[in-house]
Chains A and B, each alone.
Chain A
Amino acid sequence: MQPVIELLVANHPGVMARITNLFSRRAFNLEGILCGPIGDGRESRIFLQVTEDDRLPRVLKELNGLHDVLGVMLRYDVPAGVFDPRRVGEMKMAS
């Protein structure tokens, strides 16, 4: 399965910009994003679908270094389907 980075972040405005900035600056491909607040809304969980890359360990380290990032985990058990944008498209049509 494709690598997925799971992040626990402080739910501050701009936190997504910090993370995407880190990827875009390094021209590191970000294929899918799934994000939402958890608990009382002070934290969010983010899933980033990425591609296998030699630089992946370094990206994990840099994500860990961001002040608003509270936890980083690399997972290989997330089905690609959860990032499939067509799912939401179909939901819309059904409603």
Chain B
Amino acid sequence: MKRTGAQIIAHLLTRQGVPFVSGIPGGANLPLYDALGAEGLPHVLARHEQGAGFIAQGAARATGRLGVCLATSGPGATNLVTALADAKADSVPVLAITGQVARPLIGTDAFQEVDTFGLTLPITKHNWLVRRAADLLDVLPEAMALAVSGRPGPVLIDVPRDVQLEAAEFERWPEPAQPAPKKPCDPAGVERFAAMLAAAERPILYIGGGVVASGASEQLTALARASSIPVVSTLMGLGAFPADDPLWLGMIGMHGTPAANRAMTEADLVVALGVRFDDRATGRLQAFCPEASVVHVDVDATEIDKLRAACLGLTADVGLVLDDLLPLVATRHRPIWRARVADLKARGSYPAPGADPARPQDLIGILGASLPEDAIVTTDVGQHQMFAAQHYPVRRPRGLLTSGGLGTMGFGLPAAIGAALACPGRQVVCVSGDGSILMNIQELATLAELDLPVTVVVLQNGGLGLVRQQQDLLFGGRYTASNFLRQPDLAAIARGFGLSAANLGASDDPLGLLAETLAGHRPSLLVAPVDQAEGVYPMVLPGAANHEMIEDRNHAACH
């Protein structure tokens, strides 16, 4: 048979069961768009390529399946770069297909030419510049498999315009892409793991995004309960362990619970599952559980011993390791350690949120109480993100989608659109801030067009709150460039895009308005004015140890 490069891409994406692609057409990817239209693959028109990238990410993060985004050459590709770097940092399976100028023009500084391959080389798991249409028959399945195999991540295929138009002759279609088999662990490693667990007096489970990616939440919960091991989590691991379990100590790190951070320093065995010892989680590394032995399980060999030497490092899928481990784990009650953990938890949890919607912590708590169990919450980046991490009860894996590693403001709205597209029937709420929302505000047009049940709640504190907080603590309260001098009317802007919108601060019954908006199940935006003076506490200052937490603003005076 004979197909053009564009037809090969469109057919292989459709055959793979990709539910939709997001993107923006332009000169260098128009042949592909034409073929997509003919193939009937649903397309979501974003209003900025970064939005397209985060829509694909939202779908991928909500489901664990591959998200696909498209962009044209030059500025289209450079606009995708942030979303790809973000996917790399948080191990999200995304395939980006970019148009490139025609082969004879490559290297001539042609119109809308940029070295997409070179630009995305360090921020993708792998990337390709395809030089012949026939190569797409190998490259596309390989790329789709690689993105979801092992430690997931973004891949990019750059396709020159004339390669999209070139016809290739071939006998049959390649086999559909299959993820590589999950990596099991050698039995000796698992036996040693079980022996270390049996010998430990004060073990603790330190879990991260790898547990979510592996789908190992059930096994994790079974292990913790069977052997009475308390659980702490990174930002990316929230939702993998039930937050109402007595063994749950909460998030660790910069804005973690005092209970979690203290328990880590007291543990004699740290069982690190799908984590990478990120500085936001560990604080000063030398002071991070210095007394403990570490068992580290990660599917990515480069993470083992990267920042903290492990007594036992297992390069394998977390779920498979726990499957093999569980039969070797005897029931343990650990009464002394559990009592200590209960005591730490009683004294070192976040204060329970109240019912005042002008307090950001309370507003998140109200959302948590209002939303159904299967709701998906996305966040942007800043104080509102940390309030959400602290006070939103994430009830299932993939229930909270947030930009953890790269910390990209502008993530929340397009990610919410992607999640809503990938999970029809589920309610999606984007918790944002008045700084972040402006960074991809144009995607309100996409949201209105798709008419999805997404509610954006903008915590409006009149500035870049987390920046202001650091300026407070580290720069003598000098707020250089972190206050907004004019406040745009975000509700009016949202209405202009075709959403229903309101300002909670202007309502006599803000809680009623919130409930009514959430029940509406349609594109909506709520502005929630919150107290500018509220900071995210507790806090570990950059470079400090996790047990040296600042409990609130008043205790920060000495720093």
Q: Please tell me which one of the listed residues B121, B302, B306 contacts residue A14 in the complex, with CB atoms under 8 A apart.
A: B121
Least Cβ distance of B405 to chain A in Å? 16
Write the A7-28 contact mask toward B (1 if CB under 8 angstroms, else 0): 0000001100110010001000
List residues of B (109-156) whose CB comes within 8 Å of A's CBs: 117-118, 121-122, 125-126, 129, 131, 146
Whole-angstrom CA separation of A18 from B120 in the bound complex: 11
Q: Are A21 and B121 within 8 A (Cβ)?
A: yes
Interface residue tally for chain B (C-beta within 8 Å):
14
Tell me if B122 and A21 are in contact (CB < 8 A). yes
Per-residue CB proximity of A49-77 to B under 8 Å, as 1/0? 00000000110011011111000000000
The answer to whether B302 touches A58, judged by C-beta atoms less than 8 angstroms apart, is: yes
Closest A residue to B151 using CB positions: A65
- B355 CB–A CB distance under 8 Å: no
A62 touches B125 (CB 8 A): no
CB neighbours (8 Å) of B305 from chain A are 57-58
- Contact between A17 and B121 (Cβ–Cβ < 8 Å)? yes
Is the beta-carbon distance between A65 and B117 smaller than 8 angstroms? no
Q: Is B300 an interface residue (CB 8 A)?
A: yes
Indicate with 1 or 0, residue by residue over B315-342, a CB within 8 angstroms of chain A CB atoms.
Answer: 0000000000000000000000000000
Taking a contact as CB atoms under 8 Å apart, the answer to whether B301 and A17 are in contact is: no
CA distance A81 to B327 in the complex (A): 56
Chain A neighbourhood of B125, CB < 8 A: 67
Selected contact of B122 from candidates A25, A57, A61, A67, CB within 8 Å: A25
Question: What is the bound-complex CA distance between A18 and B305, given in angstroms?
Answer: 23
**Contacting A62 at CB < 8 Å: which of B117, B121, B129, B302?**
B302
Q: Considering the complex, give the chain A residue whose CB is closest to the CB of B146.
A: A67
Q: How far is the CA of A42 from the CA of B244 in the complex (A)?
A: 56
Which residues of B153-202 are within 8 A (CB) of A?
none
Kindly list chain B residues whose C-beta atoms are within 8 Å of the C-beta of A13.
129, 131
Alpha-carbon distance A62/B306, docked complex (angstroms): 10
Q: A21-B122, A67-B146 are in contact. Are A14 and B300 (CB under 8 A)?
A: no
Determine how close the nearest CB of chain A comes to the CB of B210; give it in whole angstroms: 15
Tell me the residues in window 343-376 of chain B with beta carbons closer than 8 Å to chain A beta carbons. none
Residues of B within 8 A of A64 (CB): 301
Q: Mark B293-308, 1 if CB is under 8 A from A, else 0.
A: 0000000111001100
Closest residue of A by beta carbon distance from B124: A67
B121 and A18 form a contact (CB under 8 A): yes
Specify the chain B residue showing the minimal Cβ separation from A64. B301
Query: Provided the pairs A21-B122, A58-B306, A67-B146 are in contact, do residues A14 and B301 lie with their beta carbons within 8 angstroms?
Result: no
Please state if A65 and B300 are interface contacts (CB–CB under 8 Å).
Answer: yes
A65 close to B301 (CB less than 8 A): yes
Residues of B within 8 A of A61 (CB): 301-302
Q: Tell me, rounded to whole Å, the shortest Cβ–Cβ distance linking B32 to chain A.
A: 22
Which residues in B have their C-beta under 8 angstroms from that of A68? Answer: 126
Chain B residues near A21: list those with CB within 8 A.
121-122
A4 to chain B, nearest CB (A): 21
The residue in A14, A17, A67, A68 that gathers the most chain B C-beta atoms within 10 A of its C-beta is A67
Which residues does chain A contribute within 8 Å of B126, judged by CB atoms? 66-68
| A58-B302, A61-B301 known; A14 vs B146 contact (CB < 8 Å) | no
Q: Are A65 and B302 in contact (CB under 8 A)?
A: yes
The 0/1 profile, CB within 8 Å of A marked 1, for residues 45-82 of chain B is: 00000000000000000000000000000000000000
B122, B131, B305: residue with the most chain A Cβ atoms closer than 10 Å? B122
* Complex CA–CA separation, A58 to B306 (angstroms): 7
Residues of chain B contacted by A25 (CB below 8 angstroms): 122
24 contacts between A and B (CB under 8 A): A13-B129, A13-B131, A14-B117, A14-B118, A14-B129, A17-B118, A17-B121, A18-B121, A21-B122, A25-B122, A57-B305, A58-B302, A58-B305, A58-B306, A61-B301, A61-B302, A62-B302, A65-B301, A65-B302, A66-B126, A67-B125, A67-B126, A67-B146, A68-B126
A-to-B contact residues, CB < 8 Å: 13-14, 17-18, 21, 25, 57-58, 61-62, 64-68
Report the 7 A-B pairs with minimum CB-CB distance, sorted nearest first: A67-B126, A61-B302, A62-B302, A65-B302, A61-B301, A21-B122, A21-B121
